[in-house]
Amino acid sequence: GAVVSQHPSRVICKSGTSVKIECRSLDFQATTMFWYRQFPKQSLMLMATSNEGSKATYEQGVEKDKFLINHASLTLSTLTVTSAHPEDSSFYICSARRPSTDTQYFGPGTRLTVL
């Protein structure tokens, strides 16, 4: 299957700081990437759809000014959690759609802990 990487895998930060998470599709070009959030023992909640070269589409209830998404190239999307607070602590997972197979592949996730 296709490979999607995420960095960092874990991050601990102080309240009020910003954290950037990178998502890369390593062996294919992805015009569309997705960012999900997963709470403990719950399903994945779609936060936003990231399209290369254009603005991200955010789901209802997701603050676009707090969760900044940039999809600068066909292999890289970044999620920046700005002015993080403890309630932003969660498991963030990115996904990239491989056009040739029309399948979404997922990164290993980033565990964010805000103190």
- Residue 53 contacts another protein per CB under 8 A: no
- Residue 42 contacts another protein per CB under 8 A: yes
- Residue 105 contacts another protein per CB under 8 A: yes
Q: Which residue has the tokens 């969760």?
A: 67
- Residue 6 contacts another protein per CB under 8 A: yes
Give the tokens for residue 2: 């296709």
Q: Where are the alpha helices (DSSP H) in 1-115?
A: none
Q: 88 phi and psi, to 5 degrees?
A: -85, -10
In angstroms, rounded to a whole number, what is the distance separating the alpha carbons of residues 111 and 20? 12
The smaller minimum CB distance to another protein, of residues 31 and 80, is found at: 31
Report, in Å, the least distance between residue 79 CB and another protein. 14
Report, in Å, the least distance between residue 114 CB and another protein. 18
